[in-house]
Structure 1
Amino acid sequence: MKLKIWRNILLLVCLLAIFQKAEAHPYHVSIAEVKYNAKTQSLEIALKIFTDDLEKTLSDLVRKPVLLTSDAAVQKLLETYFQKNFNVALSHNQVEVPRLLGFEKQDDAHWFYLDIPVKASQLVTAKLRNQVLIQTFPDQTNLTNLEINGQKRTLIFKEGEVLKPLL
């Protein structure tokens, strides 16, 4: 009898742990810090994404489990993903894609460091695309804090909001 009670308690604890893990973050959000460096004529980007959300997105894309490691294949997958989902449109047929400089883990998220070449004269017409994770999580919100030529503002990207002007 006591064994049955303890087994039920253990089962309850395990179920609670599973549901708690599933509810680790009931919202889907990324944060990007984007600064224009006039000296190098590029956008310098620090992008924070929940690790489990990005691993799910990448795994869905390649149809096999992906863990964020420094493996060359994972690096290439990340570069390709960011090139399609975080870039700058300079015109209808010209898109500048980011270069992945590196990344680091911080708690349950990763910081990704990118740069995108953009000339000062192109800033006026340039539009940013931040579609990170939106195809996997329709409720995804991507906050993008911009600092360009001393001006600060925040862009918010949600499903259906593809391109937004830098200035």
Structure 2
Amino acid sequence: MAHPFHASYAELSWSAAGDQLQVALRVIPEDLETALSREAGGPVLLDPASPPVALMEAYLDRHFEISADGAEPAPVAFLGLEIAYDETWLYFTLPVSRAAAPLMLSNTLLFDVAEAQSNRVRSLWAPEAPVLVFTAREPSQPLPVHR
């Protein structure tokens, strides 16, 4: 059944060494399954015992891109997921240095599933910075500079 609200929420933090971004991403499970099923050309169900890691990494690589100064976007390294009835949390890292600022984030997650999709991102290292909101009209934004 369709649902009226289409949104994701991500929290970004730096690793202790400052050489990768750590991402916790909350999505609606059926939206992610729909996107992955389209990518796979057949039904994909999220299963914490055997998640479709390669498919999720490929999808995230295309739709959650962080780049520095026009360089190639950093590849996703999937860490795990938690699945509940109304939300799924994905955990992954991106190998990018905090010294590479300014960083640009392109967040087009699930735009291919829901026309009204919006994606929110909070940079935990900059609590005073506003939550970034990504829409089809504004899919890319600079991340706040680390202090």
Specify which structure has the higher proportion of helix. Answer: 1
Deviation at 1:40, TM superposition (A): 4.0
Identity %: 29
Which structure has the greater CA radius of gyration?
A: 1
Partner of 1:145: 122
Q: Supply the AA of the counterpart residue of 1:162.
A: P
Deviates more, 1:103-112 or 1:31-40: 31-40
Deviation at 1:59, TM superposition (A): 1.1
> In the alignment, is the contact (CA less than 8 A) between 1:147 and 1:153 conserved in 2?
no
Are residue 130 (structure 1) and residue 107 (structure 2) matched?
yes
Q: State the superposition RMSD in angstroms.
A: 1.8
Aligned partners of 2:72, 2:142: CA distance in 1, in Å? 15
Per-residue CA deviations over 1:10-31 (Å, capped at 9, x if unaligned) read: xxxxxxxxxxxx25x3110011
Deviation at 1:152, TM superposition (A): 4.0
Q: Aligned ranges for residues 18-33 of structure 1 at < 5 Å?
A: 22-23=1-2, 25-33=3-11
Are residue 90 (structure 1) and residue 68 (structure 2) matched?
yes
Per-residue CA deviations over 1:106-129 (Å, capped at 9, x if unaligned) read: 232210001112212212x21012
> In the alignment, is the contact (CA less than 8 A) between 1:43 and 1:115 conserved in 2?
yes
Partner of 1:117: 95
Aligned partners of 1:97, 1:86: CA distance in 2, in Å? 9
Q: Aligned ranges for residues 1-167 of structure 1 at < 5 Å?
A: 22-23=1-2, 25-69=3-47, 70-71=49-50, 74-123=52-101, 125-148=102-125, 151-167=128-144
Higher RCO (C-alpha under 8 Å, 6+ residues apart): 2
Q: Secondary structure at the match of 2:60?
A: helix
What's the TM-score, normalizing by structure 1? 0.77
Per-residue CA deviations over 1:78-105 (Å, capped at 9, x if unaligned) read: 0110111112011324211221111111
Aligned partners of 1:117, 1:154: CA distance in 2, in Å? 22
> In the alignment, is the contact (CA less than 8 A) between 1:38 and 1:120 conserved in 2?
no
Unaligned runs of 5+ in 2: none
Unaligned runs of 5+ in 1: 1-21
Q: Supply the AA of the counterpart residue of 1:148.
A: W
Aligned partners of 2:43, 2:12: CA distance in 1, in Å? 30
> In the alignment, is the contact (CA less than 8 A) between 2:18 and 2:98 conserved in 1?
no
Aligned length: 143
